[in-house]
Amino acid sequence: MAQELETDVVVVAAGLSGLAASIAAAEGGARVITLEKASNTGGAANMGMGPCAAGSPVQRASMIEVTPGELFRRHMFYTHYQVDPRLVRAYYFKSGDTIKWLQDMGVVFNSVRPAFRARERTRAYADGEYTWHVVQPEDGSEPGPRAATTMIKRMTERANDLGVEFMFECPGKKLLVNDEGAVCGVVATNKDGEEVTISCQEVIVATGGFGNNAKMIHDKIGLDWGKNLYSFAVPGMDGDGYNMCHEVGAGHTPVTMEMMYQLPDNMNHFYVEGAFRQPCYWCDKTGERFMPEDDIFNTTFVGNAINHLPGKVAFSIFDSKMLRHWKKDGPDIVSHVHPHDLYQGFDEQWQRDLDTYMDGAGNHVIAQADTLEELAEKIGIDPEGLVQNVEQYNEMCAEGYDELFEKEREFMMPLEEGPFYVCRQYVGAYGTLGGVLINHNMEVMTDDYKVIDGLYCVGTDACTIYGDSYNYSIPGNTMGFCLNSGRIAGENAAERVAESAGDEDWD
């Protein structure tokens, strides 16, 4: 039988932004019900390491001077003012205090870091700021991937302490609107498939985009998941909030994906993926190089570059000598994602995958051959083009100078000694960003910029602040925006609830 509930604020989804919204609203005195499709809190944030902030106590204690205004400018220059400055401002100017807010909940930050330090000659364009507040894991050990789960735990505990009522495996399905056009409730489906109707005063939608919805990705972004796109598809990120908000007249913004690069089913081919992320020889299907390979550690640059190559595919090639060098000396570029023993595990994985590793379009992902012609033939590069280009490249290696791109000379290793190894490289992405138009209070607006009463949208459903690319130079940005947009919406929602409670007293 259908269930009917009543509360002040409903938060749709308990990812990072939903948790922040729930806590902030409950701290403001509102009664909060938080719907969650999964049985865990945290959503995609369980994968992360920590949020971005400016002017935080952690930064100050580390003598890192990064003011909100400075970051605001850097962000707006990076995006060429293509994004809403008030929204960006609201986020950065809140972010330092949000770190303190989290510390008060018991979250410990290990350190503030940049994502990576760029080499000297690209530093002005590609360097990272010290904004990444990496969470200290529960047991005091050194943080690695997924360190942010400890922050999720603290926030979940805090929400529970404040009386936030979580409803797990109970996704929000529909927003209810009253006669005045204000949002006044949510319809959800509980784990038994029964409908739950919750009437409330304020709704905060925080469902995390539609990275798991291939059809929406195709329709709204124009990429084909599993064919020319291998992005993160976190189960549950199906566009629920996007659709719910638009059903009640929310305005539209462009939807983007933060491009990077990835292999199909990469978890099962991790050694292969890691082994080819090196500054060896990278080319398109004609055999021509497309960037100085010393930049391939910048996943944003490479993802964007591949997206513009013919067929949206690149090829990474090395020879036997390079493989020997990496086996002996370790990789030239170390990633904190891939296994430490990359090249020890390589041969075994390579042999297993060689004939069986296919992409969604039916191409071999990897190949090996004794000559470059044969290699090109096998993997789908123009053989003549490859041989010609490699010849020129090898000459440049001998000269010690890359005439084409001025690639760092220490990586100018020729492709000489067979067998040669090749791997296709595909466009990847984290998830989707944006789609729902909001103002700097996180209130949802129509296409005419009129606020829809009672409705907020936060986190990646509403994150339009990146423009076209992931802002790697201000690391921690995705989590940072989720946290702060959620917190701001929660505060505003609670304030409105308190105001209207006052009204009733007067009536």
Of 295-334, which residues contact other proteins (CB under 8 A)? Answer: none
Tell me whether residue 116 or residue 270 sits nearer to other proteins (CB atom): 270
Among 3, 67, 116, 168, binds other proteins (CB under 8 A): 168
Tell me how many degrees the CA angle 238-242-248 measures, rounded to the nearest 5.
135
Tell me whether residue 1 or residue 63 sits nearer to other proteins (CB atom): 1
Among 60, 340, 409, 450, binds other proteins (CB under 8 A): 340
Among 29, 106, 144, 254, binds other proteins (CB under 8 A): 144
In angstroms, give the least distance from the CB of 49 to other proteins: 10
Of 182-211, which residues contact other proteins (CB under 8 A)? Answer: 189, 191-193
Tell me whether residue 17 or residue 349 sits nearer to other proteins (CB atom): 349
What are the C-alpha distances in Å from 40 to residues 10, 106, 241, 267? 18, 20, 18, 22
DSSP code of residue 364: B
Sign of CA dihedral 425, 431, 434, 440: negative
Tell me whether residue 220 or residue 269 sits nearer to other proteins (CB atom): 269
The dihedrals phi and psi of 315, each to the nearest 5 degrees, come to -130, 135
Tell me whether residue 107 or residue 396 sits nearer to other proteins (CB atom): 107
Sign of CA dihedral 435, 437, 442, 445: negative
Residues 6+ apart with CB under 8 A from 139: none
Q: Is 152 in the site for other proteins (CB under 8 A)?
A: yes
3 vs 33: CA distance, rounded Å: 14
In 3D space, the residue among 49, 65, 74 whose CA is nearest the CA of residue 130 turns out to be: 65
In angstroms, give the least distance from the CB of 136 to other proteins: 8
In angstroms, give the least distance from the CB of 339 to other proteins: 6
In angstroms, give the least distance from the CB of 338 to other proteins: 9
At 493, is the secondary structure helix, strand, or coil?
helix
Q: Is 40 in the site for other proteins (CB under 8 A)?
A: yes
Tell me whether residue 202 or residue 238 sits nearer to other proteins (CB atom): 238
289: β partners? 283
Among 4, 341, 391, 410, binds other proteins (CB under 8 A): 341
Among 233, 412, 423, 455, binds other proteins (CB under 8 A): 233
Q: Is 223 in the site for other proteins (CB under 8 A)?
A: no
Residues 6+ apart with CB under 8 A from 76: 83, 85, 88
Among 39, 82, 351, 500, binds other proteins (CB under 8 A): 39
Near other proteins by CB under 8 A, which window of 92-100, 115-123, 260-268, 275-283?
Answer: 260-268
Among 85, 93, 103, 153, binds other proteins (CB under 8 A): 153
At 281, is the secondary structure helix, strand, or coil?
strand
What are the C-alpha distances in Å from 452 to residues 315, 449, 481? 48, 9, 21
Q: Is 356 in the site for other proteins (CB under 8 A)?
A: yes
In angstroms, give the least distance from the CB of 356 to other proteins: 8
Q: Is 166 in the site for other proteins (CB under 8 A)?
A: yes
In angstroms, give the least distance from the CB of 493 to other proteins: 23
Near other proteins by CB under 8 A, which window of 35-43, 69-77, 240-248, 451-459?
Answer: 35-43
Tell me whether residue 114 or residue 137 sits nearer to other proteins (CB atom): 137
Near other proteins by CB under 8 A, which window of 53-61, 68-76, 134-142, 458-466?
Answer: 134-142
In 3D space, the residue among 294, 261, 265 whose CA is nearest the CA of residue 280 turns out to be: 294
Near other proteins by CB under 8 A, which window of 141-149, 287-295, 383-391, 479-487?
Answer: 141-149
Are the CB atoms for 2 and 185 separated by under 8 Å?
Answer: no
Tell me whether residue 345 or residue 380 sits nearer to other proteins (CB atom): 345
Are the CB atoms for 436 and 207 separated by under 8 Å?
Answer: no
Q: How far apart are the first and last CA of the chain?
A: 36
Are the CB atoms for 387 and 376 separated by under 8 Å?
Answer: yes
In 3D space, the residue among 212, 310, 288, 299 whose CA is nearest the CA of residue 258 turns out to be: 299
Tell me how many degrees the CA angle 246-241-82 measures, rounded to the nearest 5.
70
Total residues in contact with other proteins, by rule CB under 8 A: 55
Are the CB atoms for 14 and 158 separated by under 8 Å?
Answer: no
DSSP code of residue 114: -
**Angle between helical axes of 85-105 and 477-506 (0-180°, round to 10):** 90
Tell me whether residue 47 or residue 176 sits nearer to other proteins (CB atom): 47
Tell me whether residue 170 or residue 438 sits nearer to other proteins (CB atom): 170
Q: Is 235 in the site for other proteins (CB under 8 A)?
A: yes
The dihedrals phi and psi of 73, each to the nearest 5 degrees, come to -65, -45
Are the CB atoms for 311 and 285 separated by under 8 Å?
Answer: yes
Near other proteins by CB under 8 A, which window of 50-58, 287-295, 339-347, 432-440?
Answer: 339-347
DSSP code of residue 340: T
Binding site for other proteins (CB under 8 A): 37-44, 46-47, 137-147, 149-150, 152-153, 156, 160, 166, 168-169, 189, 191-193, 232-236, 238, 265-271, 337, 339-341, 345, 349, 352, 356
